[in-house]
Amino acid sequence: MVPWSGRWWLVRRAGNGAAAACATAAVLVACAAGYHGLPALGPVLDPGSGAWASASGGLTPKSQVLQVPGLTGAAAISFDPHGIPTINATSVPDAMVALGYLHARFRLTQMDLQRRLAEGRLSQFVGPAGIRSDIFELRLGLLRTARREWAAMPKTSAAAGLLTAYSTGVNDYLAQLRSSGQWPAVFSLAGVYPARWTPVDSLAVQGGMAQALDYSTVPLDYSLLSRALGIRRTMRWLPVSAAAQDVYDPGPYRALGVTPLAGAWAGAGAAGARAAGSGGTGANTTAVPKKALAGSAVTASRSVARAAAAALAAATALPVAKAGGEGAGAAWALNGPKVAGGGSMLASVAPVAEPLRSAWYQVAISAPGFDVAGVSLPGLPGVMIGHNAHVAWSLGGTQDQSALYYVERTSPSRPGRYFWRGRWRSMRQVRYTIPVRRGRTRHLTVDLTVHGPVLTRVGRTVSVDWMGNRGSPDVAVLARIAAAGNFTQFTAALAGWRSPALTFAYADDSGNIAAVTAGYYPVVRRGAPWMLMPGTGADDMAGVIPFAALPRSFDPPGHVIVVAGQRPVTTAYPYYIGTTLSGRDFSDSAGRASALLARRSRLLPPDLAALQASHSDAVAATLSPSLLAALRRATLTPIEQQAASVLRGWNHSLDGQSAAAGIWAAVWPAYLSATFGPWWHAAAGLAARSRRVGLSGQLAGLGLARALERWTLADPSNPAFTPPGKPSRTAASVMRAAFGAAVARLRARLGGAPASWSLDRVASWTTASAPSAALLPVLGPYATGQNPSSDQLWRPGPARDAGLLEGLAGQTWRMIVSLRIGQATPAGRGSIWAEGIYPGGQSENPASRWYANLTGRWRNGGYLPMAPAGAEAAGRIRWVLFP
């Protein structure tokens, strides 16, 4: 018999062993598999692999010989001290292989994030926080469009060749990563790694770009406004057409009818277009007589407003600035006496409406018949903005309406069906599975009508016919632009551009300048396209404005073209191109630039550089005197007096360190809110949820801002300042109240010293230099930013709400190209000199020397010379690539 003391020892030993085994198992599980948001800590934090291995991506590249199996011949890449590469290849496809390799090497996280955003696979990476984005994108159809485009693209075409070659280069680098395990940290921490890159991914990224630059929600906005304010007041405040400022195409205009959409890429709208027929004069069918409103728009009933609010909420819930084309960029083209020494000049600032500020990747490419330098968008082959040996070009947003919204006629007794052209039809359904990291897999069914995807069934069934869903041969167009030698070739290339609708600024070495609008502008046979329209067929799209009839300017007599997202044509233009709510020139930068350039001549690149670097805000310059006048007549608290005195000495420049700019950044949206908010909140016709959505959309510095500016200056007693049932107000009293509210808010957030309320602090915005990696906390919710003290992150604040980002952050890539009509050379070339800069760096790895090396220079208004197109790779760091 075992004594008690022996048995107790056995029990203790067994218990100890069991406890040890459980503890070891728990540690193993945590290290090997992770738990609830925690990654597998063992492999992730292993010093030789996992997240620490990403340190190798932070090393400055060295000269080396690399094997890239996708090449067909040797290629060379050289890097200048700033990390800007020059590619020399023996063929254009090999150049694209090298470009894909470069993009993957330095911007893989950005590329993977962009394709996940576009293809509705974000939540597979970030977890449940990405579900709303995925649902919206899968509904809208970027992935469907990309797949359809690729399926329809002839595989022997030049574009298919470029896309395939580019994908090959990306995959060659991915293969290297898989064997080395040196993934960027974000993938290791998430435990989700990029899949192979395909041409569909590039096309999806292209669609994401189109959505970011040109997804219009104007009809949804008008529906909500009409419900809240009444249709008459809405159209009075936000008319379809108004006296246009600084058009670059003053006419005369040609009504060339309508181009019907055709081909496999016409998408869901093709049937409607064919059924509606083509022909008719554009002047008669798309001009906007007031009588067109009657009976041709869906009455903004409560249910319609609910549907509009739901659709708008879905679009605005996307990652920052993903939908809607925030900011338009600007370009100024000059020639003749405006340019010292003759020739032409093109200065541009290009927008990137992405959560990732440094989305551009600068590159120079040289291959037989393809010599181009400029900026590319990782994920897409080719150069988007830049110059070749003869021409320079840039692109920017323009006033347009890229989406038509239809209220489908449905019936509870006919589920899954809608009424169109006299009979009931079945909706087509597409089903998706949305994998969610550390969450339950979601399933989504998307209904499609002849118009497009159904966005919402809340209240009413609303579908959208978005021009981006029709596909666009952007890659082929950009390749042809890169090879263009004159304006004829340039416009011939642009004729194929469909989406996004953009204005291309142009200058060449023959001294010509131009602005050409390209893209699909939908034309409806009847109805009010700025409102939700009935989906029964009569208001369907008939086609698009012919390319030849789109706004264009070539060598204007004033020798200056200014493009800044403003309405490009006068009210005499015979086609509908959006309303006053569609314009993107929030701060009248077009007018400001036009006035400045009109007064000057014989300009040099430094003169344009100074203009680009100027952060002067025209709205502030126009309205701050009115504000100060109103404050002089008011009784102010001590802190308000301090804030007012800060404003008095302001030069209206939106410098990050400026306290006056910070105060204005808070006052302007407060003024908007104080003017329009009471109308909105008092709107009996809007449900509370609709009201919340609409408020955030309408008061975000869009069309109402321009109306407010106009009333403040010319009509300070406008009834808009006095909501129904309220005491009479004027612009001055509203400004006074807004100023007080803004100061109170700033004091609560930033303390009691107005002199310290710099714009950087107010906007919660710092220099965003991180392209991607640090913007995606994988262990926390997907957010647009965190840790304001970091120089890696960005998030919106009142500056964005006020549309002030135009002056601060909407302008990213800055470029100045001077094209001289030089001495005749055997090659017949002129001389081109170019410089450019963007805030950030070529590498997305924060540990890299090339991560934020360009930011300081950008903030100080500096530039870097761009390699001449066709230059030999001359940098010290050279890669020799062989198959």
Partner 1 sequence: MTRQVSRSEVDRLGKRGSYRLGGLGPVGGVRPAPPRPFKPSFPRPRHHGSISGWILTAAAATILIAGAAVIGVWFMPLIVGIVTGVATRQGGWRLRVSVPAVTIIAAAGWGLGLWLSALKGLPVGATARTIAVVAGLPAGALLPVAITLAVSAAQSLAGLWLGRALAPRPPWD
Q: Of 656, 850, 863, 851, which Cα lies nearest the Cα of 769?
A: 851
Q: CB–CB of 793/766 below 8 Å? A: yes
How far apart are CB 44 and partner 1 at their closest, in Å? 9
Q: Of 201, 845, 854, 879, which one interacts with partner 1 (CB under 8 A)?
A: 845
Q: Of 51, 104, 502, 832, which one interacts with partner 1 (CB under 8 A)?
A: 51
46 binds partner 1 (CB under 8 A): yes
Q: Is 18 helix (H, G, I), strand (E, B) or coil?
A: helix
Across the strands, what pairs with 348?
331, 815
The amino acid that residue 255 corresponds to is: A
Q: Which is closer to partner 1, CB of 42 or CB of 485?
A: 42
**Where does this chain touch partner 1 (CB under 8 A) — which range of 20-28, 279-287, 508-516, 717-725?**
20-28
**Where does this chain touch partner 1 (CB under 8 A) — which range of 181-189, 228-236, 599-607, 713-721?**
181-189
Q: CB–CB of 221/698 below 8 Å? A: yes
**Where does this chain touch partner 1 (CB under 8 A) — which range of 99-107, 407-415, 646-654, 843-851?**
843-851
DSSP state of 735: H
How far apart are CB 878 and partner 1 at their closest, in Å? 20
Q: CB–CB of 318/490 below 8 Å? A: no
Q: Of 335, 358, 848, 855, which one interacts with partner 1 (CB under 8 A)?
A: 848
Q: Is 877 helix (H, G, I), strand (E, B) or coil?
A: strand
Q: Of 555, 515, 490, which Cα lies nearest the Cα of 339?
A: 555
Q: Which is closer to partner 1, CB of 20 or CB of 264?
A: 20
Q: In the structure encoding, which two tokens stand for residue 334, read together?
A: 């000059």
DSSP secondary structure string, 304-369? HHHHHHHHHHHHHTSSTT-SS-----EEEEEEGGGBTTSSEEEEEEE---SS-TT--EEEEEEETT
Q: CB–CB of 733/724 below 8 Å? A: no
54 binds partner 1 (CB under 8 A): yes
17 binds partner 1 (CB under 8 A): yes
Map residues 773-802 to x or -, x wherever contact with partner 1 holds by CB under 8 A. xx-xxxxx-----xx-xx-xx---------
864-865 and 877-882 strand pairing: unpaired
Q: In the structure encoding, which two tokens stand for residue 120, read together?
A: 């509705």
Contacts of range 744-750, beta carbons closer than 8 Å, 24 or more positions apart: 745/666, 745/670, 746/643, 746/662, 746/663, 746/666, 747/639
How far apart are CB 190 and partner 1 at their closest, in Å? 9
Map residues 756-775 to x or -, x wherever contact with partner 1 holds by CB under 8 A. -----------------xx-
Q: Which is closer to partner 1, CB of 41 or CB of 634?
A: 41
Q: In the structure encoding, which two tokens stand for residue 835, read together?
A: 């410089």
Q: CB–CB of 106/361 below 8 Å? A: yes
Q: Which is closer to partner 1, CB of 21 or CB of 65?
A: 21
Q: Of 50, 522, 565, 703, which one interacts with partner 1 (CB under 8 A)?
A: 50
- ω before 534 within 30° of 0 (cis)? no
How far apart are CB 849 and partner 1 at their closest, in Å? 9
Q: Of 657, 660, 639, which Cα lies nearest the Cα of 649?
A: 660
350 binds partner 1 (CB under 8 A): no
C-alpha distances (whole Å) from 704 to each of 289, 353, 514 are: 22, 21, 31
How far apart are CB 786 and partner 1 at their closest, in Å? 7
454-456 and 461-466 strand pairing: antiparallel
55 binds partner 1 (CB under 8 A): yes
Map residues 123-162 to x or -, x wherever contact with partner 1 holds by CB under 8 A. ----------------------------------------
- Determine the Cα–Cα distance for residues 81 and 406; give it in Å rounded to an integer: 53
Q: CB–CB of 322/212 below 8 Å? A: yes
Strand extents, DSSP E, 150-204: none
DSSP state of 249: B
Q: Of 186, 313, 454, 476, which one interacts with partner 1 (CB under 8 A)?
A: 186
- Determine the Cα–Cα distance for residues 525 and 71; give it in Å rounded to an integer: 50
Residues binding partner 1: number (CB under 8 A): 50
583 binds partner 1 (CB under 8 A): no
Q: Which is closer to partner 1, CB of 616 or CB of 790?
A: 790
283 binds partner 1 (CB under 8 A): no
Q: Which is closer to partner 1, CB of 57 or CB of 208?
A: 57
Q: Which is closer to partner 1, CB of 320 or CB of 776?
A: 776
Q: In the structure encoding, which two tokens stand for residue 282, read together?
A: 């554009």
Q: Of 1, 2, 4, 48, which one interacts with partner 1 (CB under 8 A)?
A: 48
Q: Which is closer to partner 1, CB of 135 or CB of 189?
A: 189
How far apart are CB 15 and partner 1 at their closest, in Å? 9
**Where does this chain touch partner 1 (CB under 8 A) — which range of 155-163, 178-186, 275-283, 590-598?**
178-186
13 binds partner 1 (CB under 8 A): yes
Q: Of 11, 19, 33, 195, which one interacts with partner 1 (CB under 8 A)?
A: 19
852 binds partner 1 (CB under 8 A): no
232 binds partner 1 (CB under 8 A): no
Q: CB–CB of 558/246 below 8 Å? A: no
DSSP state of 462: E
Across the strands, what pairs with 442?
434
Q: Of 31, 76, 293, 340, which one interacts with partner 1 (CB under 8 A)?
A: 31
Q: Of 175, 538, 750, 847, which one interacts with partner 1 (CB under 8 A)?
A: 847
Q: Return residues touching partner 1 (CB under 8 A).
A: 13, 16-17, 19-21, 23-24, 26-28, 31-32, 41-43, 45-52, 54-56, 58-59, 181, 185-186, 189, 773-774, 776-780, 786-787, 789-790, 792-793, 845-848
